[in-house]
Each structure stands twice: as C-alpha cells, then as structure tokens.
Structure 1
Amino acid sequence: MVTAVTFPTIALSETGFARADDKENSIIIEVEGNPYERKKEIETYHPFVEVVQVYDTILTGLALKGDLDKLQDIKTKSFVKKTYPVRNYQVNSRDEDNINKSIPFIKKQAKGVLPGDQNYTGKGVKVGIIDTGIDYTHPDLQKNYKGGYDLVDLDDDPMETLPEQGSPTLHGTHVAGIIGANGKMKGVAPEADLYSYRALGPGGMGTSIQVIAAIEKAVKDGMDIINLSLGNTVNGPDWPTSIAVNRAVDHGVSVVIANGNAGPDQWTVGSPATATKVISVGASTPPITIPYLDDSFTNKKIPLTPLMGSVPWQFEKDQPIVYGGIGAKPLTDARNKIVLYKRGEIPFAEKARRAQQAGAAGVIIFNNEKGPLQGSVADGKAAVTIPVVSVTKRDGEWILDNMVNKNNWLDTSYTTVKDKMAQFSSRGPVTVNWRIKPEIVAPGAAILSTVPDGYRELQGTSMAAPHVAGALALVKEAHPDWSPQKLKGALLTTALPLEEKEGQLYDPIEQGMGRMQPARAIETSTILYQPLISLGNVTKLQDTKTYAFKVENLSNKKKEFYFDMPKQKQGMRWVLPQSITVPPGDKKTIEVKLTVDSNRMEEGIHQGWLTLKERDKTYQLPYLFLIKGGDYPKAMGFDFSLEALSDDMYQYSLYLPEGAEKVTVDLYDPQTFQYKRTLLEMDDQQVGLIEGTMEERKVGKGGQYLAVVSITTSNDKTYTYPSNIVIEQ
C-alpha cells in the first residue's frame, strides 16, 4: 500500500475505497494459487462478476468488475489474499512559451566530437508510459501512439481523465511528449512506439497495486522500456512497487523512474526509485534564464524562483514595491507596483489574483520557514497574468526592511545558467542498503511539452525521467541486442558530472554519475556496470569495506585502466588496484577497498569521488558510506484507511527501515493539538513493511486527526513522525 505522495507532479494513494452507493465497482485482487484456475472458479460460481484481466508475471491476481454486493462475495473466498480499490482518488498535483530547450540541449552534446552521423530516432523501440494516461488525439502524439491499457477503468482506452470523469489530468501526455512527440514538437526519440498504461486516475491518484498491474501488462506487451514518473514517500528498497520494477528488469525491460520532488533534503528519494535494478533520475536545469533582484548599494543579489504556472519575470526598469502581508486585506496602493507577500493562510494563486485585481505589476512571496519556497498559481480558477516569484524567508525579510520600509525600488538582472541541480530534486541515499540515488540526472526544470489541447511548462523529476527513457530508446535502436544492464551502464558511464561551483562537484546523493549524454552513450567503447560505489554502514570502531564492479571493453584493442590516488582524509584509507588490463571484447571485475576508523570520523553520511582513468578519458565514480547510520527517518509511509469493499474494517501500513522495539500511533486534534487517544501499539517489529487491520469499534470516532507515530529503537531512543489522516465512517 502506498500513502499520499509528494513526487513529481504525481501521487499514489490508497485512501480511496468503494462506497456503498456505487452500484458497479472495479477491483484488483491478489490470489493464492494459479490465477487462471481462480478465474475459472469465479466465472463458474459468480457469473455476474466479470474477470477483465489476469496477472501472472509481476503480480498473481485478477481484475474484476461487478456490482458491489457481488464483489463483496468474492472478497470472502479463502484464496483471496487482498483486495485493492481502483476508484475515488484525490488530487495531489503540482504544475507550473517558447521552444523546448532541453531536448536539443541533451542531444547536441557530442556533435562534432564523436565520429559518425547520429540520426537515431528510437524507431522500432517500444516505450510504455505508466502514468495518468495519454491524450492520443494530440497531433504531436498521434503518429507514435500504438495502444495500451487502462488499469483504472479496466479497459483498452487509456485516455487522460476528462473533466466529466473527475479532476482532469495531463501529466502522462506531458511525459509522452518529452519521450516521443513527433509533430510541431519533437521528443527525444520522435519515432519510438508509445504505449500508455493508465494507472493513476482522476487528479493523478492511484494505488500501488494498479501500478504493479500496469508494470505486468507492459512487460507482457513486450515493452523495451518503461517510464514511471511517479512514486511515494517511502525510502526503502523492499516496498512492493520497488520489488515489482526489479522483476520487470529481470524480464528484460529497462525501467526508468523519477527520483522525487522532496529535495533538497537527504533521504528523500521514494519508492519505486529506491529499487536497485532500475535507473533513478534526478532533475537538473537546461539552459534557463534566472532573474535576480539587485541592490547596488549593498551588493545584494536575490534569486527569484518563478511559481509554476506563472508568466516570466521580465522587468527591465526599477520597480516600486509595497507590502501586502499574508494577503488577507485589500490592496489600496498597488497599481504598477510589485507586491511583497508573506506565505501563510491565503493560497498563492489567490494572493496573486488579489494583487492582479489591484493593478499590480508582479508579486513576490517569501517563505515563512527556512529553505526555498515552491508552489503554483495554476489552481484551475481565473488565470494569473502577472509574474509571481518566491524568495526565501531571509531574503523576503531583507526586502521588507531595506526596500519596502525605506521606499527603495527594485532592480532586476538576469543570468543564464545550465547544468545546475534543481532544488526540488530528491536526494538519496536509500535506507537499509545505503545505495546512492539518483544514479543519473536530466533536465527537469521549466520543460515545455504536450498536454491535452496544447502545450505547457511543467517541472519536476517527472520531466527528467522521460528524457532518460527517450535517450534509452536512442541507444536501444543503435544497439538492439544490448540488455537493460548494458543500456544502463552505457548511460551511467558517459554521464557528465556536474559542478556546484568551479572545481567542486555536486555530492553523489544529488547527481549520481551526473547529467546524461546520450550521443556519447551510443558511441562508448567502455561500459562500467554498477559504478556507484555504495560501501554500506560502518558500525564497528574499525572496519574494511569492499566493493566490486565490472568494466567491459567493447573495442578491438586492449584497454588499460588505473585510479588516481584520492587525497588522504582522516579515518579513511583506500586500497585500489594499480592498473587493470581488459582485453578486447572482454570484461574484468575491479575491486576497491576502504578501511574506516569510525572513532576518528563524525556520524552520518560520508561521500566523495574516485577518479578512474583510461588513456585520455576520465571517469568520476561516486562513493558513499555511513558511520553508525546517520540521521535517517526511522518510520515512513503511515497510512490508515477503510479497507476495500468494507464499511467497518480498517487497514493500516507503516515502513520501518530498521525495525523497532515499540511503535505507537497517537491521535491529536489537528487545530488545538489536544491528545485524543492511542490508535495503535505494537512491540518487536521487524525491518520493512508493517500491515494490519482493525475493526471499527476499536478505531473510535471518525474525523480529521494529527497522527503522531512514535518509534522506540533497540538503543532506547525515541523518534516521532507526524502525519495528517482522515478516519472515515
């Protein structure tokens, strides 16, 4: 089960359930035994229930349609392990005109550098898009759309959710355009075959089981590549969707997954991007112009972050500024001025409209807490036609003190940047196995692509992942016999490590191997397999960690590889091979060792880069290890909801990266924080997913609550994690 998600522009949820007033329902059930035998049994003894799909590859189960009372009879059968709802979803999307700059940017990198004329277009490569559906009537997608399946309505029409069906969606169409648009706009692989698997319904919501069923359908339909621009908040390698995508790779399918939009904090990558065999993608910037507020007297320069859905900030002259508080009061002196708002209470779009109605030229919103502020002014209501940007709390307070209160005017300057990490891009590592994620990055900021009835800019790792999926299609066309492991290795080996500032690379958990370069991947004569060096958790005073990876020589000449000795760091001693000779067409295993004296090092994440060289080529290999685990979350993904097809039984789930001596869930009033009651108490819980059910009489009164999950670990430390839940009755 998956809780509400903070990823890209998409979320998974299992808070939806079939209501008693819905006559016909659709559900997916997991079954014990042979699913085809179960299908025959249902068709024989339950003739009014339709079996619309059988799952036997990634999932063992059936998709069913029928009246509620008939489906409730099925649920009581002994062979039914679980039932999952596929209706009633919640909205949880975050969206934001010029020609898309990201695709030509990533495709031109090797022009004039590498031999040959690369005209690969992804022709003949099948790409499955597991998302909100695709508007296959869009003129830029009609040529390449080849079919798919709808796991929400359980039919062969995976169209986006239309307004008359609920909260409309556009996300899957945007993803599809990045991968393979072939019209006015050209995607990364404009001749790839596009297939849509609609796993997320109205508002971009769905369940883990729908996603798993979509993965299975895509695998059985023979996809070469699957793109999932979706995820959840659970940072663990063994969540059900993570296991499912690994199995898809085992079946010979390359799987590309968005890393998440919960950055810049560590430990924010969520499942299924936490899976070990997939390609997890973070977001970097294509060439974009960033506006700054300048004050020449104090040499102050404040970066402005456009809110999604905003028109560009394009002021050439100094601008007067007024303060609008949180936006609760009417503006009386805002005409042709910039309005400065503080975040709080009033939605961003509503603040902007109030300024717009008062004749303001633009809006700046500053955060009310530490860190960057991201948001949207696209709320489906009246359009905001003035530019709206955000700044940090510190910068906003500086503007209030030095500009507004002193009647100074604002001047704007502009800087063009590229290959910088997006603040929103989720960071690793993964709990439990301590893997480095993301593994690669691609443009994900201000990406223009197809949407129903036109084009729109969106941003997120949701937009970065399809750049990689499209690039994989190009490499697959060039090398049709390459395995998913080899395709992934080619992209990782040839990635460009990005610099935060001159001479200093971004950390491994921010960028993995760096920004992809598909043209170089196509031409590479060297492939490194699993080159992200994850050395694990050091719990002893002194410990030696070993990591092995493979290098393949695709050329017809032998290759020599060697390491530059890294700079000595306190508490660390590397043992690296002096040289490695790889014959033509052969593979060799490279082993590196690190001895750690944890007594001389701080607890937490330690990361950096090893330099591997091959004649005139250099490969930067990221490494990571932890001292005594570090400050990672000890509980994630708490979910509590009515069980599917039930009015009196509740289900709950929780993920524990290291287990717990005791787990307690207490309920509080979300407004007054008054303690109400204890919902759950559990002892001696193991690592991984905890699931269970509760009867309504034990749950107590329904309503909205602040649920505080308390975790007591084996060393008697206690950690608390709040989340909002709704108990429906």
Structure 2
Amino acid sequence: MWTLNVYAKTLDYPSLPQDNPYEKKIAIVKTKDNYSTQEIERMLKKYKNLTIRTNFHEIFNGFSVEGHLGEIQKLKKEQAVEIVSEVQTYSAEEENPVQLIGADPISSTLQNKSKPLTGKGVKIGVIDTGIDYQHPDLRKNFKGGWDFIDKDKYPMETVGKGVKNTLHGTHVAGIIAADGKIKGVAPNAEIIAYRALGPGGTGTTEQILAAIEQAIKDKVDIVNLSLGSEVNGPDLPISAALNKVVEKGIIAVAAAGNSGPLDWTVGSPGTASKAISVGASTPNIKTDYIEIDDKKLILNNMKNSVDWNSFSALEMMDGGIGEKENLKNAKDKLALIKRGGITFTEKVKNAISAGAKAVLIYNNEAGPLIGSLEQELSIPVAGITKKEGLLISEKMKKGSLFVKIESKWEKDILADFSSRGPVTTTWDIKPDILAPGVVINSTVPGGYMALQGTSMAAPHVAGACALLLEAHPNWKPEEVKAALMNTAKPIMDRENNRYKVYEQGAGRIQVDEAIQANTLVMPGSLRFGKFHLVDQLHEHTAFITVKNVGNTLEKISFAIPKKQAGISWKMPFSFSLQAGETKKLPITMRLDRHVVQKNLQDGVIEMVAGSQKVQIPYLYVLEEPNYPRVMGFELTKNSKEKTYEYEVYLPGGAEEFGIALFDKESLTFVQFLDWKKNVGRGLLKTKISKKNFPAPGNYLMIVFAKKSGKEDEIKSELTIPAGKKYE
C-alpha cells in the first residue's frame, strides 16, 4: 500500500543514470541554410551509424535522421546545424453545432446575394488517421491525398487491426465537409487527406512534418491538425512548421488538446503562434446533475456507461475505493466511490456485482474527474470533483442521503477537458478561439458516431475558414484568423463568471458575424510580455493593425480597459479609416510593481468601429509564473496484467523526472523505481513490473520533476509487506 504524506525535509538522491549512447533514435535536424542532399550526406559521412530518412525544404531547411543517440547528440555541434529535436509521438485527440456557430446555409449567405456559402472551391488538407473515402457522405468531396504510413495514394483509415482500427480522421473530415445524411460546416469544400497517424491513432513528428510538407506542395488553402502532443512549447518542429505554413499563405488550424482543466496544458501544435488554436465548448446539450445543499453537482458521464434515467430518488452509500468488501450494502443504491487503488472499470464491475443502480466516482485531487471505462457496462457512471465527493461523504455520515438525478439544457460552457494556456516561454494566449467539441455526431467508417474533444472543435473552425475564404477569396490567413477572433462570443461559466482569456481565447466562433465584419484588428490577441520585479520602468507596448475591409468610412475608438489597481493604459485616440485603409497603432500598459502581485493578469481591450464592437484579449506575465512542475501522482495495481501503473501530471514537462525510494528509518537512498529524461508535458502513465520493486519494508517515495531551474517534489510512503514482493 502507499499513502500520501508531506515531509518538510528535502532529501538528496543521485543523478539520473546516463542515456544509452547506442540506443536507436529518430531526430529532426534543422539546418541554417538550404543544403542539397549531397551536402548533407558529406556532413554525415563521419557518423557511421546515422541514416538520412526525409529531406525538408518547404516548412524549414533540414532533414530527419535515424541512428545511435550518441551520434545524434554530436550533430548539435555541427556548424551547419541550428536545432536537433528528437522525434515526439503525436496522437489523435479524441443544438446542431453547425447552426450554433452560425455556419448553416441560411446564416452564411453572402450580403446582397441569395446564394449560400458552402466552401465551394476551397481545398482543406486533413492531417490525421486517414479517411474512409468510400463513405457515402464523403466520397463526393474526397479529392485524393497520400498515406505516409503505407506509402501509397490511398489514405484509408486503419482497418483489420482490431483494437488498433481508427476512425478519427473520418470523423474530423465529416465535421468539415460531409454532404449526405450529415452536413458538415462547408459541405462543398474539397478534402485532401494525409494519413500521418497509423494503427491506434499515433504517429511521429517525422510523419506529420512530411504530411505538412506535402500539403504545401499540393497547394491546399487550409490544413487541419486534430492531433496533439504533451509538450507546451512554441518551438517544437511541428509548431514551427505550422508558422511556416501560414507564412506561405495557408491557414493552419490545430486542436488545443484534451488535457484541461488546469492552466499550462495546451500542447503542440496548438502552441504555434500563427496557427488558429481551438479549444472546445459545449453545443446545446443535456447536462445531468444532482443537487445537495442547493448546489448543483455536475455529473461528468464516463464513456462506455449507460445514460442516466430520471431516478425518482436513490439512496447513496459509501463505497470506499470500490473493492468488493466496500460494496456489500450497495444493492439498489447509488455508490459513491473514491478514485484510486483499482481501475474505474474494476470499481464499477464490483458495484454491479453488488447490485448497485449507479456509481459516482470522485477525484482524489483537485479538479473534475473525466474518465472512461475499458468496456461497455450496464449502469450509469459519472465523475465528480474531490470537493464534491467529500461534501457527499460528510452528508452521509449524518444519516441516510437520498438524491434525484436531474438534467438541464445548456450551451457555451467550456469543456473541462479542453486544454488551457498560456504557452510557456512566449506567454501567448492559447487557445485562440472555441468551437463545439462535446458530443459531436459525424461520419465514421461504416456509419456515424458522436465523439468529443478539441479534435472535434478544430474542424468546425477549418470549415468556418472555408466559408470565409469563399466569401473573401483575397483574405490572407491572418485576416481570416482576425475575423473569427474579432467576432467571437466570450462565454461564461456556470456561475456567470467570464472564463480567462488563456482558457477561451476570444470566445466561441460566430461565422456569420465574421463573414460580415467590416473592420479587422490584427493580431486578435495581445501579450505584453514578461514584467520583471527588478525593472525600474514597468512599461510595455504592443502594436495592433486596424484594417477597414468594408466599403465605407469607419470611425474607430477605444475604451479604457476595466480599472485594475496598479495598472494604467495609454490608448490610441479616435480616428477614421477609409475603405481599404490600414493603420498600425501602439497600446501601452504601465504597471506599478509595488501594487500588482498577480503573476498572470488577463483582460480585454474594447474597440468600436461603427456598429461593430471588437474585444481584444490581452495577457501579461509578472516574473516567471510559478506553475508546479509535478502533481497528481498515483500508483495503482492492474490485476488483469499483474503489473503496477503510475500516473503523474507534468504541467510543463520535465528535463528530469524520477521516483526515488529511501529507507524510511535511515533516509538512505535505495533505488529509482523509475526515471526519465526530457519528458513531454501532460499526463505520464507508465507500467512497472513487480520485479522492479525492492525487498519488503517501509520506504519514503519522492516523485520529482526538474524544469528550467526549478524542482518540485511529491512525497509519499510505500509499504511492501514482509514475505513477498509488492503486490
């Protein structure tokens, strides 16, 4: 067993073991100039174990290489080399939403014309798991592509691989351009499919870069990447490639990621500054909840459980951690179970065996619990927060507790899973905008299915961009992005508080408003950089460009941002813009370091242009934001596989991560239970074999992560019973 405890003393542990220089790796190499294949081969001649895989010329100058890690690391010292980056693994991020965003044919009619906008003539590259191009709703708009997994011109989804079959790319393509039983946002747009994610929906940096390179050569108008990594960084190769895509006149749309609701969770390529990074909001959907002490507790229904029926009243019972002995009195009741110890599926199976009517699982750390069952089970199951679980537990201690499952219709709520910003090191506001991404019905091989994720939100935006390009064929990517951001609807949480700008960007898109915009503000959001406490002058200036894209003169004015202690502004004076005229303007923020203490400060600047109101999100950072380097550690037993699994959350990734064991009495170092270097941001899940555990005894376990000169630790106890290994 293991229990969480906090220790005041920090212990020393040895350096992590050295990487194996002979381990085979693949890396992306960015060069300082555009070298020929022959020149690259001459450079690599002295590295006997390195092999060139792919050359890049469109997205940046460079190549990918495979070979021994030691030789790859030596490449960094070559004069011609700018950056060497090990290949990352990317995966598909798993009311009528089209009508909600104003993209239905009636709303999207061109001014002064009766013909609806449908994306006709616009080419959209979908870089994903492939596409079922024989699907009746897609075959008309499928216009070819390439398969980077099987190396052929048939980018079909993975089939015949059992649990590794894919459907993600077909779902994404349907949201964009289905034209049949289901109508996509842009039902006449052309889909060019690039299969860069193979069986199981995973692919490498190299495959995705090759797909982006091909999309440029194919002269697509828009690329959609509903995929993500666990690295919150602006300079990864795919993020850099998307910035290059935009510079070449192509609109780049990327999912923000599904690692919310904590800050700093947005991942590459959703961190690319010039791309449109998309978070997920709810369409008009039914939300289940229970009410306790006049508080509505929202139920996050788990995938593979059945829908909640309108139970007249259910008595609740404390189901501990969901072991069989905890659930002896669960018959005909709603079992409250704590997360941890065993899997969600095992907890629910135990509850079903005990005759429970339904299960609520509450988190063992701060934040909502979004979970999934490993197989379809026969009762409703939902996740709630730790705070809510403890509230229910306290109520049950005072006597019998009966609850009624109720539901309400709601829309425009930020999805809990939607990744939040800002971006590390650049402090960019990401996501840029939101679109519906919860319970979205679309095409899949052989039929239709509802899925959720920022993967489903991004193609709504890609389709919206197609409508905008049809209406305004001369608009550049930055103008399309600005139109969507300038006209987006800021959304509120369930307590009617406005979400932070680094949670929602400019808000949920309104395509019909964007099409009719007469004035554009670029960029659509502002960051004033990092203020340092040692600075004598705390004054930062950001610049915006205002462009009149209408046909008449527009009068422009700015409102002073909402008053905040210690912050003052210097805003542009009012002025007029002729049709087609552009003006660049400074906006200056002054900060009193003796008054302002908050590390992240966000808000909006309002500009009025005739009848159009534009809200420009802004963000500033004071010193280095103190985000935790490690959190949410949990060690559980997987009885099916007879292994152990830990999960831990690394908000910014880690240069070094480890689980160090110390003798509890002497505090001497015993061993590393596990360790890793250069770990990506996000949730890390790893299986550990029983043989890796030490001899029976009591241990202090320190889980640590180091990043950018800061180290954080979680301390807990590990007890291995005498006479057997940890089990």
CA distance in 2, matches of 1:670, 1:134: 51
CA distance in 1, matches of 2:570, 2:705: 43
1:403-459 Cα offsets, whole Å, 9 max, x none, are 487333211222211112122222211222221111111111222222233322222
Aligned residue for 1:710?
Answer: 706
Aligned residue for 2:313?
Answer: 318
1:229 lines up with 2:226 in the alignment: yes
1:238-268 Cα offsets, whole Å, 9 max, x none, are 1222111101111111000111222222222
Q: C-alpha displacement at 1:108, in angstroms? A: 5.8
Aligned residue for 2:522?
Answer: 529
CA distance in 2, matches of 1:321, 1:94: 35
Check 1:103–1:308 CA distance in 2 against 1; reply closer, same or farther (3 A cut).
farther
Check 1:113–1:452 CA distance in 2 against 1; reply closer, same or farther (3 A cut).
closer
1:654-703 Cα offsets, whole Å, 9 max, x none, are x9999x9xx76656369999653699999xxxxx999xxxxxxxxxxx97
Aligned residue for 1:569?
Answer: 564
CA distance in 2, matches of 1:353, 1:93: 29
Q: 1:270 aligns with which of 259, 267, 271?
A: 267
CA distance in 2, matches of 1:140, 1:606: 46
Gaps of 5+ in 1: 1-14, 21-25, 42-48, 637-654, 683-687, 691-701, 724-729
Q: 1:293 aligns with which of 269, 290, 293?
A: 290
CA distance in 2, matches of 1:205, 1:581: 51
Aligned residue for 1:465?
Answer: 458
Q: CA RMSD in A?
A: 4.3
Aligned residue for 1:720?
Answer: 712
Letter paired with 1:389: A
Q: 1:207 aligns with which of 186, 204, 207?
A: 204
CA distance in 1, matches of 2:164, 2:139: 24
1:493 lines up with 2:486 in the alignment: yes
Aligned residue for 1:10?
Answer: none
Once the two structures are superposed, the pairs formed by residues 604-615 of structure 1 within 5 Å of their partners are 604-615=599-610
Check 1:349–1:120 CA distance in 2 against 1; reply closer, same or farther (3 A cut).
farther
CA distance in 1, matches of 2:675, 2:358: 49
Q: C-alpha displacement at 1:31, in angstroms? A: 8.9
Q: C-alpha displacement at 1:353, in angstroms? A: 3.4
Percent identity reads 40
Check 1:234–1:517 CA distance in 2 against 1; reply closer, same or farther (3 A cut).
same
1:172-213 Cα offsets, whole Å, 9 max, x none, are 222112111222111111121112222222222222222211
CA distance in 2, matches of 1:155, 1:502: 52
CA distance in 2, matches of 1:170, 1:413: 33
1:337 lines up with 2:333 in the alignment: yes
Once the two structures are superposed, the pairs formed by residues 149-228 of structure 1 within 5 Å of their partners are 149-164=146-161, 167-228=164-225
Is the contact between residue 603 and residue 628 of structure 1 (CA under 8 Å) also seen in structure 2? no
1:259-302 Cα offsets, whole Å, 9 max, x none, are 1222222222122211111111111111111111124xx33432
Q: C-alpha displacement at 1:349, in angstroms? A: 2.8
Look up the SS of the partner of 1:249 in the other structure: helix
Check 1:679–1:333 CA distance in 2 against 1; reply closer, same or farther (3 A cut).
closer
Q: 2:472 aligns with which of 469, 479, 488?
A: 479
1:369 lines up with 2:365 in the alignment: yes
1:579 lines up with 2:580 in the alignment: no
Check 1:274–1:403 CA distance in 2 against 1; reply closer, same or farther (3 A cut).
same
Is the contact between residue 262 and residue 425 of structure 1 (CA under 8 Å) also seen in structure 2? yes
Aligned residue for 2:432?
Answer: 439
Is the contact between residue 437 and residue 456 of structure 2 (CA under 8 Å) also seen in structure 1? yes
Aligned residue for 2:128?
Answer: 131
Letter paired with 2:346: E
TM-score (norm. length: structure 2): 0.77
Once the two structures are superposed, the pairs formed by residues 506-525 of structure 1 within 5 Å of their partners are 506-525=499-518
Q: C-alpha displacement at 1:546, in angstroms? A: 0.9
Look up the SS of the partner of 2:203 in the other structure: coil
Gaps of 5+ in 2: 1-18, 43-49, 632-649, 681-690, 694-700, 716-727
Letter paired with 2:595: R
Check 1:664–1:389 CA distance in 2 against 1; reply closer, same or farther (3 A cut).
closer
Is the contact between residue 94 and residue 376 of structure 1 (CA under 8 Å) also seen in structure 2? no
CA distance in 1, matches of 2:313, 2:651: 53
1:112-154 Cα offsets, whole Å, 9 max, x none, are 9995546111122111111222222333222222222222333
CA distance in 1, matches of 2:351, 2:276: 44
Is the contact between residue 239 and residue 689 of structure 1 (CA under 8 Å) also seen in structure 2? no
Check 1:387–1:215 CA distance in 2 against 1; reply closer, same or farther (3 A cut).
same
1:353 lines up with 2:356 in the alignment: no
CA distance in 2, matches of 1:635, 1:657: 9
Q: C-alpha displacement at 1:558, in angstroms? A: 1.1
1:257 lines up with 2:254 in the alignment: yes
CA distance in 1, matches of 2:152, 2:61: 19
Is the contact between residue 660 and residue 673 of structure 2 (CA under 8 Å) also seen in structure 1? no
Letter paired with 2:569: W
1:538 lines up with 2:535 in the alignment: no
Q: How many residue pairs were aligned?
A: 640
Q: C-alpha displacement at 1:37, in angstroms? A: 4.7
Is the contact between residue 566 and residue 591 of structure 2 (CA under 8 Å) also seen in structure 1? yes
Check 1:321–1:163 CA distance in 2 against 1; reply closer, same or farther (3 A cut).
farther
Check 1:62–1:158 CA distance in 2 against 1; reply closer, same or farther (3 A cut).
farther
CA distance in 1, matches of 2:30, 2:253: 28
Check 1:408–1:282 CA distance in 2 against 1; reply closer, same or farther (3 A cut).
same
TM-score (norm. length: structure 1): 0.77
1:636-659 Cα offsets, whole Å, 9 max, x none, are 9xxxxxxxxxxxxxxxxxx9999x
